[in-house]
Structures are given as C-alpha cells and as structure tokens.
Chains A and B, each alone.
Chain A
C-alpha cells in the first residue's frame, strides 16, 4: 500500500467506517495539522454488495429490486430508472396513469429524502431538534408509501410497464393533507435552522465548489446546481411526463454549503408544486402494461438517466438478447459527488468536514453499490 510521508507535526486520523457524521460506512483518512485538514482520502467498499454483478445473474424484472438498496432514500427513483431503461429496450411506454403515479411517487421520495437530509444536517451541526421536526412530515410520506406500496423504505413499486399496484383509495386525500401541512410547516424550518446565526456562520463561504470544478468532477444534482451548473435531468431529458408539469430548476451560483442548503429547501417547494399540479389530475385507466413473464431485450445497449434526490442516476444496460442482462452499470450520483469532498476539504477545519459531508448529502450504499 502506498504510504505518504508524515511530516513531524502531521496527525492522521481515520474518520469512519464507524463514525457518527459519515452516515454509513465511509472511511475518510484525514491528514491534520492541529484543527486544519491538509489532505484527505476516501476508502470505500465497506458496504459493496456487487449489485452490478448480481444483476447479471437475474432477469430483467428481478434485478430492479436490487436497485432499491442503492440509494435507499430514493428507492422509487432508482426503480423508475431501471424500468424506463427496460421499457426503452422493449419500445413500450407506461400508461398515462402509471406515468403520473411514478412522478408523484418520485416527488414524494424527493421530499422525504430532503427532509431526512435537513434533519441529519442539523444533527451533524449539533442541533438535535430539527431532526424530529423533519421526521414529522417524513413519517406522513412513509405512511402514504406504506399504504400503496406495502413497505416504507425499499418500495419495489415501480416496475417495467407501469407500477405494481393501483393507488390506495386514500392516497389522494392523504397527499393533499400532507401538502397542506407541509406548506404550513416550512416556515418552522426557517425558524429552526435557516435563520439561525450559528448555522449561517457555519455554512456561508465554507466548502466552495466552482462551476468548472463541479463539471470536471462530475457532480450532479443539488451539489452542481448550487454551483450554477444546469443539470436537472427532469428538464434536460424529460421522462415520464416531466415535460408536462411546470416547475423551476432551482439554481444558485454561490457554490458554498449554504447555497446547497438553500437549494434543497427550495427544491422541496418545487416538489410540492409538482405534486399539487398532478394530484387532482391522475388520469383513469390501466396502471400497468401487461408484459410477458420473462422479458428479453433485443441485443443492444440502453442508457437511461433520471434525477434522484441526489443527482443524476444513469442506468446502462447491455443486452445480448438473453433473458438476463449481459452487463448492468449504475452511474450513481453520490459516487461522483464524493469527488467534490477532497478539493473542498483542503485547508478546512474538522468542523467544516461535517458540514460539507452533510450538504453533499452522501449515501454510502449508493457509492459502493
């Protein structure tokens, strides 16, 4: 293993794999000079399950369920990406009702994910209370998921050709109630964290990422958008009828921790707006295109991009005409967003590391796959 010269007063600490602020099993090797970080190096693989390899042994309808375990906070959206890629190969399109349901579920997922992020950010910065306020609405969303999909975290609800089940009869009512409550409660987010002097001092001007760096490092999602890079797949390559709804791609050009923080809060508002447009207009009709029991894609390659709560997820399927995919590759947003950590950490304080990792919103199973 390569070793690095340790100068006289340098100090090497391992953050992780078991550490409260890494939110999982990421291991960061930090070179410190007192409180200042000189350099860092991520070590991955503590939760590597070989999803890409496992997918090669499973059928097209089966491997989708593994993807719920990648970014477990955007499970719906990962399933959606695989389903879209397979639909692309079969040259079918989900029915209109299924598409609307997918978008609704995806946006609810985004809301839930951003709420968890918001609470965990507070926790990382030492404020415990926001966590509970964030979980108040997140719990409602999970209950909605539970009713329709049957589970709360790894939903496995979106499938090639549509969705597995029809919506629960209470779905519309509950979502409307959620939206109403969320709109009333978003100002509490401001009072608890956004407006707090200490939070602003901890995040403003910290963890700068320029637009050029963000592009070069391959960052996507809120991380890149906070640096002013337009990269919302929902706008650039609309899928599942995202071109029919109105929403704004939120951008910020500051590129610091606070920009990323602010951007996610604004994204929550946009998600609410999307849900509001669709909730009263769910078309009637079938919710799933009937597919054969064993799906075979024609030989070729299919690439599908979607926007998860953390950025661009790419699903790359190579088929050789058999009933299993020949190669599946997931381009996960966190894997590239992690790149941004190293340049940011140089010269920062240990306390900054925590706020940077919090605003990058890293999900380690998504990095390792």
Chain B
C-alpha cells in the first residue's frame, strides 16, 4: 500500500483516531487501552500485515509520556508509526504488545528499565540494563543522579 492508500485505510478502519504525517511515516494516535486491539488488527489484517515491529520506544515530554511504535510489513513494505499518549507520568501503564511481536519483549524491558513505564501482560518485565536496586529511571528528563560529579 502506498502512503495515501494506507491513510485512507486507517481512516476507514479506525474512525475517530487522529492521524498525522511526519517526514517519514504516517502516524496514528491510539488511546492507551486500545493499543493492543489496534495493533492486533493491523498485524492480522490481510490488507496491512504489519508483521515486523522494528522499533518501540518512549519519549518523555515532561508532562506526559509518548509511546512510539514503528512497524512495517515484510509483504507490502509499507511503514506505520503508532503513538500513544500516557498522561499519568507517575503510574504509567499500558498493555504489552509482546503477544503479537516477540521483539517487543526486549524493547518493553528496556522502556520499563529506562522510563519506568509498566506493561501489563508482559511475561517477565525486568530491568535489563540497570541493577534491580537502581533508583529512578535514567531516560526521564527529570532524572537526577546524586553520584554524578559534574565537571
């Protein structure tokens, strides 16, 4: 599907969801409770077949988090970016997409480790980079490390 076709498809399939477009990908804004259903539909629909989650990350906008999913289809070669807004910064939680793409296991572990966003339905969420006792989540903008000596 070309970008235009994909955009009209998304409009038809997910009415009411905001669409944007950036320089690389069409962007679809999804509510955090719907992310699993939307992702499942996008992955399993014959017309889209987004079977390859090539990136999943988060952005800390200081007031809220933004989850970013980049996906592509190995059949049709179209790309899509899905964004989820997480309002509650202290207790951010959203459904895991691990059952759909196994790659998400590690990505979500990393996001949990560095941003402190929890994923419900993830088989074993753990801190993969930092130690278990590490205080704070380093990639948050307000992260302060008391041990850092500023030069």
Contact = CB atoms under 8 A, between A and B. Distances in A.
Decide whether A and B assemble into one complex: yes
B24 A302 contact: yes
B74 interface: yes
Contacts of B151: none
B124 to A, nearest CB: 7
Given A2-B126, A53-B139, 12 more contacts: A1-B132, A45-B128, A215-B74, A216-B101, A218-B52, A218-B101, A218-B103, A302-B23, A303-B24, A316-B57, A316-B70, A331-B55
Interface of A: 1-2, 42-45, 48, 50, 52-53, 88-89, 213, 215-218, 220, 229-231, 236, 300-303, 312, 314, 316, 318, 326-327, 329, 331, 335-336, 338-339, 368
B106 interface: yes
Interface in B94-141: 101-103, 105-107, 110, 124, 126, 128-132, 138-139
Interface of B: 22-25, 51-55, 57, 59-60, 68, 70, 74, 77, 81, 101-103, 105-107, 110, 124, 126, 128-132, 138-139
Contacts of A338: 106
Contacts of A231: 74
Nearest to A44: B128
A279 B52 CA distance: 36
B105 to A, nearest CB: 7
Contacts of B53: 218
B128 A216 contact: no
Nearest to A220: B54
Given A45-B129, A53-B138, A303-B24, A316 B106 contact: no
A301 B61 CA distance: 14
B103 A300 contact: no
Contacts of B106: 335-336, 338-339
Contact of B23 (A300, A312, A336, A368): A300
B127 to A, nearest CB: 8
A327 B60 CA distance: 8
B97 to A, nearest CB: 11
Nearest 9 interchain pairs by C-beta: A218-B103, A45-B129, A331-B55, A303-B24, A329-B57, A48-B129, A216-B102, A44-B128, A327-B59
Contacts of A220: 54
A336 B104 CA distance: 9
Contacts of B57: 316, 329, 331
Contacts of A52: 139
